[in-house]
Structure 1
Amino acid sequence: MDEKNYEKAFQLIMNAGNSKSASVMAQEAAKKFDFDQADQHLKDAELEMRKAHQCQIDMIQQEAQGTPVEVNIILVHAQDHLTMAMMAMEQARELIEVYRILHKLMKQGEF
């Protein structure tokens, strides 16, 4: 893989990792019923995810234009990070919603 694609792969790893970390922080904030902070962390996760996706899109476009992207362990690792970050964001969204419901029920004295 050429230097430019290595750079893209490592950028993807970094952005996906940042997204996953922000998703975990969103869950932690929601656990404390700090939904403003949870929402901000989720926005941060989404921003980092967009950056990670852009790295992936750039490589896909390069391949589509006839310049192959060599698949190696770094690129596989990058794709794995992206997948895990996507899963973490979906999990965070679901857990935040569950914590919102729990908080509402606790305030109403139903739990």
Structure 2
Amino acid sequence: MIDICDYDYAASDMPSAFALQMVTFTRQLRHAQVLCDDKGNALVLETVSNAWTERLARAATVEMGGSALLAFYPMSGRQAKACVVCGTLSLYANLAWSCVKAVCRTAIRSARLLTSSAPPSSSTVA
């Protein structure tokens, strides 16, 4: 069974590997990372810095068709909990659900407005 963790660790939507909170908290500059794609290719990286990880992973991702998954920052659940922003996934889900409900309410109001107003008669049209 895979546990789903309700947290986010990135500083932005497209962070660089060395701009993640994991680096700030763990100070891990050298560790093994695995890059894989949907075709079954896998690449193990052991770099001298996170900047090199970023450079090599981006280049390999392009060669893998532009979509790949990089697994890195090995740590325990306790370590992860100390350096992440907890509750962000559920916050995102709740915000998305609120937006969907608001759009539905607006669509229902618009439909009611359209169906309740009678079309103009030909005598009132100029």
**Relative contact order higher in (CA < 8 Å, ≥ 6 apart):** 1
Greater fraction helix = 1
| Greater Rg by CA | 2
TM-score relative to the length of structure 1: 0.36
- Normalised TM-score (structure 2): 0.32
Kindly indicate which of the two structures has a greater share of residues assigned to strand: 2
